[in-house]
Structures are given as C-alpha cells and as structure tokens.
Amino acid sequence: MSKKKLTKDWVGNYLKNNPSFLTDFVVKNVPLTMLLEWRKDKETRKSNVGKDGVFSGAVKSIQKMSKSQALPDLAVAEVGQRKTISDLKEFIEDPEKKESRQLQRKKTMGELTGPQQEDLFFELILDIAHELAVDALCNKILSNVAMLTGSDRCSLFLVRVSGKGQQFLESKLFESSDPAGRICTPMQEGGISVQIPFGKGIAGLVAQTKKPVNVVDAHKDERFNTEIDRKTGYRTKSLLTMPVFNFEGSVIGVAQIMNKQGGDEVFSKQDEWIFEKFLVFCGISLTNAELFGLSLSEFKMNKLLLVLTKGIFAEQTKLDSLTRRIMLDIHSIISCDRCIMYLVNFTASVEQDVEITKAYDLTVSDKTILNPSDDALKKFPATNFALQVARTGESHEFDAKNQEVEPLVSDTGYEIRSVMSMPVLDTHKHVVGVVQLINKFNNEAFNPSDIKTIATFALFCGLGIYNCRLYESMVKMIARQKVNLDVLSYYAAASDSETSDLVSSTVLKSQKLKLTALDFFDSSLSDSETAKAIITIFTELNFIEHFRIQTDILCRWILSVKKNYRPYPYHNWRHAVNVVQMMFYCITVGDVKSVLSELEKFALIVASVCHDLDYRPEIFRIKQPLQMLYSLQSVEHHYADQCIMLLNHEKTNVFHSLGTDEYRVVLELLESCILSADLTDFTKNIKSFQDIVSKEKVNWTVDYNRRLLRSMLMAGSDVCITCKPWSTQVKVVQAIFTDYCRLTEEGRPGGKPDKSGASVQKRMRTELPKMQVAFLDAVCLPLYLLLSNAFPLLKPTHDACLANRSQWKKHAEEAQRSAKSTLSHTSPSSASSSSSSSSSSSSSSSSSSSSSLPTLPPQPP
C-alpha cells in the first residue's frame, strides 16, 4: 500500500476533523509562551487568517477543552519558565466564551456526563489549590462543594484552640443559593463567630469522632441545634456533615451541606463519596493556607520585634518617651480598639499592695495617647483586671460572650466586651507594669496568636522600662555622687586662706632645700616648706609654664593632697615628700629626663606625690570596708582612685589645660605609675628590665622599655630610705617596724597590741637586722644596680644602699651571737622551753618575712 503524500491542506483538514488530537499535541508539545504568542498574533492578524484557518481551529479547540486537561501538563512543563496557572487561564478564557463557561460551571455533577464530571471535579480542585488566603479559600470551598453535591446550603467550621488549650469549632462561612448566584456570608451571632465545643451538636460530634453523619431529617435528630433555623427562618431537612483532615489525619475543620436539591432531597452514597473525596483536597489546601497565614503572622511578629528593638535602643533615657514610642509602633499590629499600659509600684506597707504610678491610654483609631488621671483610672472597669495581674503576676482574660456575662460599661458609656491583660516583668521577674488590650476588632475573642503577640510586646516593654529606670537611677546616682564629692571636696580640699598664703609665698630654690642631694630628708624642712618644695620641683621642671598650670590650682592641689595624707608613723605626707624628692633627683641629677617625654615626667612627679594617698592600715584587715572593696586588687588602686578624685575637681585639677588626647594619656600614665609601686610583679619586671639594660645600647624610644623604666623609678623612689645616711635610715626603719609589729599582732586571731612595747623591742633586736639584710639583697641592691647601669649618674644610690647593707649585716651577726650566748647559759629545761619559743618566733619571723617587708610602703603586712 502506497503512502499518502502529506500536504498542508491535508494536515489542516485532519486537525479540523480531529480536534482532540490537536489538543493532546499542543498540551504535550507546545510551550505556554508560544501559545501566548499565537494569541497575540491572532489579535493582530485577524484580517489575514480566516475563522476556519488552522490557528483559529487550534484556539477554538483549546477553548473547548477543560482546564483539568490543559493545566497540569502545561504547569509542569513551564515551571522552568516561571509561568503561572493564571497565564494559562487568561489564554483559555477567551472573552467570547467566558460567559458560557461560567454558566457551565453552575451545573451540578448529576447534570454532567462521566467525562464532564471528571473535568469539573479536577477544575474545582485546581480552583482551590492555588488559593492561600483562608477566608477566600473557605469561600471557594463552599461554592464548589455546593456545585458538586447539588446542595442548597453549606457551612464550614474550622478547629481553633482556646487560651486554656481546649479545642472548639469556629464558624467561617455560610453559603446559600440565590437567583443571582451563590452568596457566602460569615456565620455569626451578634457579630461574633459561632463557636461549638467538641462533642456538642452534630458538627461537634463529627469533630470529636472523626466520622461523617448523614441525617435525613435534621429536626427529628436530637443532636441538631434548631436555634439557628429559628433565627434565620431557614428550614434544614437533609444534612450531611463530614470532617476535614490534614495530612497527619487530625481534624482541622468540619463541613456541612444541607437540603439536597432535586429527586428525593436526600444525600446519597454517591454524594458522600464526592463530598469526602473533595474534602481531602480541601484539607490539604486549608493546611497550606493556614501555614501560609502563620508564616505571614510570624513575619509580622518578627517585623514588630525589630521595630520594638530599634525603639528601645533608640530611646533609653526617658521612660515616658520610650513608652509612647513603643505604643505608637505597636498600634499597627494590634487588632483592638484600645491599648493601655499601666506602670505599677509596690507600696512599702506590710501588705505590699500595688499602686498605679502612671498609665498610657492609646486609642488605635486616631493614634492618640492620653494619661488618665487617678480618678479616671479608679472609675474605669478594666483597671481592676490590671491590679489583679500586677498582684498575681499572671495574665488575665475577660470575654463577656464566652463567659456569658454582660459587657462592662465605663462611666463615659464605653462598652468593654473583651480584655486581655498581660504582666510586664523586668529582668528580675518583678512586675513593673501591665499591658492591656481592649475590644478586639469584629467582636472576636483574643486567640492564642494575640496572646503570643501581647506576651512579646510585654517582654520588650519590660526590657525598655527596666533599662530606662536603670538609666534614671544611674543619673540620680551620678548626681548624688557629684553632690557628695562637692561636700567631701569642701572638707578634703584646702581652704581659700591656706591656698592664698601658699600662692603669695616665695618660691625657694632647689639648692636651698637640698632637693638635688641624695642625703635629703624631710626632717630638714618645716611644715610649710614641704609644700613649697613641691612647687619648687614643678617650677624647675618647667611644668607650670609648659602645661600652663594656674598657680592657685597647683597650690590648692598640693595642700589638698597634704591634707588627705593621714598622720601614720611612716605612710604620711612627709614620706610623699621624700619619694617625690627622690624622683626629682633621678630625673635631674640622674639625667633620666633625657629619655622621658614631658608628659611622662609630669605623670611621674604627680604619681610620686600621691602614691600612698589616704593610706589606712585597716585596708589589710579582713571584713573592713576598704579591704572588701579592694580585696581582689592591690591597695594601690585605692591610692590611684583618691588621686583621680582630687583631679576631678576643677579647683584641684593640675591637668586642667591639657587637650583631650593629652589628658587621656597622662591619666593612663598616672594610674600606671601609681600601680607600679606595688611590688607584686617586681620580680618579673626587674628581670625584664635587666634584659633591656644588659644590652650594649638601650633603645628608649620603645614604649615597653620606657614603661619598665617608669616602674623601676617608682619602686626606687618608694624605697629611697634604704640609700639615705645610716643614722636617718635606722630611725625610719625602726618606726616602720614598730608599726609593722602592731599590725601583725592585731591581725592574729585574738591578738592584742602590747602597749608596753617590750615585745616590739625584743623583736626589733632579734628579727629586724636579718629581715633588712634580706630585703636589701632581694630588692634594693638589684634595683639600684640596674638603674646605675642604665644611668651611671645614679651610681651613688647603689653605693649608699650597699653601705647600709653592711651595717645591717653587722647588727644581724651580733643578734645571732647574742641569741647563741643566751641559749648556752640556760638550763636544759628552760633551754628546751626557750628552744620551743625560739622555734615559734623563728617560724613567725619567717612567715612575716615571706609575706611582706617592713620597709615597703605600698604593701604593709
């Protein structure tokens, strides 16, 4: 058999005579974009292509086919091209046929043939598959259910959960037939959605048992609630109720169809099958729509959190401004008439009752925020709920309808139907306020989502209120501290008359005061000359001119520092004068000034004057306030704090003319120098300093090298008594040791000072020389040797210290011989007793020696 030759006319005739073939071919092979191009080409080339042409025939064939055939394949085929179903609908819905297709959809399943029934079923499934708005989806479900089953009316209930975790059904829509088409309206009573508990009525029973119920005559079934028919005037006869499941098999809703139209007006098994199958897809669509709605709600919640966080961190200085800002930010997401924020405080009475300190009343409609008076709050009914929440710390809900009570009415006539009150907690879980939402829109009750929003809002309000109150308390504390500082400075600072006398006095030369001599000692100066000596040092180091220090400020600062040194045997103002003189000696005579900057010299001199400021022995005793304050820090931190406190006062701030950067640097240098007087890290620092000095040429431009040098200079100045003449040193060391013994005896459990001084004199003869030799060997001699190696002009300090060491060594040997002689002349029994006593004394001496040294002012025992 010969093959028939294919021609254009033959193919065209074949396609016209076989439209189903054309439909299948186009759906499977032609991209959606090409179909859209065809339609566009058709509109622009109507004059060139006849109504019976191939293109026209293809379009008509596609218009005649059902969406159920065209949509799935095309949708899958065009995913990569990002085309939507609506594009295909626009192509299929030819304007000339649109009206006739809508009339066709109004037919019921019984009026269509088998293939048409399948087409309609899938078309209705696709109609709900792409709807993500819950209300619109419920509308489509009811309309499509009525069309499929031929029912007169239908309704849909969705499962909801109350704040107490109880499930109930909430009516969404009620659909009825109408000559102009089906109408879907909310099923409500008094403007509020109908709520049905699980197990109550036919719908509640279906939700609870998960089984469908088909009632032939509803009014003969005792489970049917006739109240709705009575109110609406509608007569329900046949009733088919079925559950709607999600993919997990849980009930998410209940659908009802009423009064079968045509025939015996009873829903058949076929109706049950169609209804059940369609609800499977409805359950999937409802789940997706609610998940989408939940994601939108979470998005809004996250957006709210960002806005609230921004508002909180933008305004933390004033509580009033913060509260107003947060409430204005939140109003757009609160679906209620009013929002009230109560700020509360607990009274100091025995009952610890709560009182409202302030309230903010936001009217959402016009965004106005008012501050109700106390009388207005007392008369407002919802205030009682806020007080209850403040007392218990637990949220409270009021819903007049669900609780079957009358709405509350204020004295202004405002009706309160629903109230949600949430406590506002600070970081310590204390109630600081109550946030209250009143009258949710559409007369609905507050749902779990609303409660979550309110709880989040309350959380951020709590953070904001806590931060603002903390800031306000800090402002008050700073103000109080400033007042206290002014009061203290009045007593701690020198008087105007004293300052004037010092300002008008003559500045003495350093040579006259022997400030450049190594054997200088404060005993050669009168009380007034000690203050003048500091002025001389500032003058000859050119600090007054270089740093533009006002004379009255300098004099007041010197006298104030002098006044804040307490009259202890050693750590007093005259000790500070000796230390600053030694620093002056190192800088000038020792030529250390050649490697130091002006700011470093300035900081070293000021630190030397203040290095033991406000020294008190009780700082070393347990449970004393100062000891508890600095228990984890060296005592030098207290000295630095006192020094800076004086400098903070404008009348005693010798750094007053420095710029911002210089002021910051000099304070850092000052604190570092005072803290370096602590010998805790002396061993580590002196080893590092030894490594630096041992080099052939030291690079003093390195910051680390200069920092170690400043530390060594402070230490060397602090122990300068060890390189003073022997007669001077003995008297000072004995005074230090006396104070040392008194402190150690008082520090022992049950210890009391020996007022007779006999024990001190004994220990001074036996222990002091040996301890002093150990101290000179361990600290002073290595320190002055390294400083002499770095700066040869400082060699006299090491020589003087070495000479004193030989004297202490001689006394130590004499004490040892005396002790042996005493032991040889004692009886065996008394020798044994003496040996025991000597052992105990030796142990005490060893312990005292290892813990602290008597000549170290920064670290007394």
Hey, which residues are catalytic here? Answer: 571
CA distance 497 to 506: 16
Q: Nearest CA to 225 among 171, 285, 282?
A: 171
**In sequence order, what are the residues at sequence separation of 6 or more whose Cβ sits closer than 8 angstroms to the Cβ of residue 171?**
155, 156, 157, 186, 187, 188, 193, 194, 195, 196
Query: What would the two tokens of residue 642 be?
Result: 């006192």
| φ/ψ (deg, to 5) at 839 | -60, -45
SS3 of 511, please?
A: helix
* Residue indicated by tokens 């029912």: 151
Can you name the residues that pair with 756 across neighbouring β-strands?
none
Secondary structure (DSSP) of 731-764: HHHHHHHHHHHHHHHHHSTT----TT-HHHHHHH
CA distance 861 to 852: 5
Residue 522 in contact with residue 577, Cβ under 8 Å? yes
CA 567, 804, 635: angle at the middle one, nearest 5? 35
CA distance 766 to 760: 10
Q: Which amino acid is at 727?
A: S
Secondary structure (DSSP) of 230-292: HHHT----SEEEEEEE-TTS-EEEEEEEEEE-STTS---HHHHHHHHHHHHHHHHHHHHHHHH
| φ/ψ (deg, to 5) at 148 | -70, -40
**In sequence order, what are the residues at sequence separation of 6 or more whose Cβ sits closer than 8 angstroms to the Cβ of residue 144?**
124, 127, 128, 278
CA distance 33 to 71: 14
Specify the DSSP class assigned to residue 524. Answer: G
**Helix ranges restricted to H, 748-827:** 758-766, 768-775, 781-790, 795-824
Secondary structure (DSSP) of 145-202: HHHHHTEEEEEEEEEEE-TTS-EEEEEEEEEE--TT--EEE--EETTEE-EEETTSHH
Strand 368-370 relative to strand 396-399: parallel, antiparallel, unpaired? unpaired
Q: What percent helix, strand, coil does the chain show, rounded to 5?
A: 60, 10, 30
Residue 722 in contact with residue 801, Cβ under 8 Å? yes
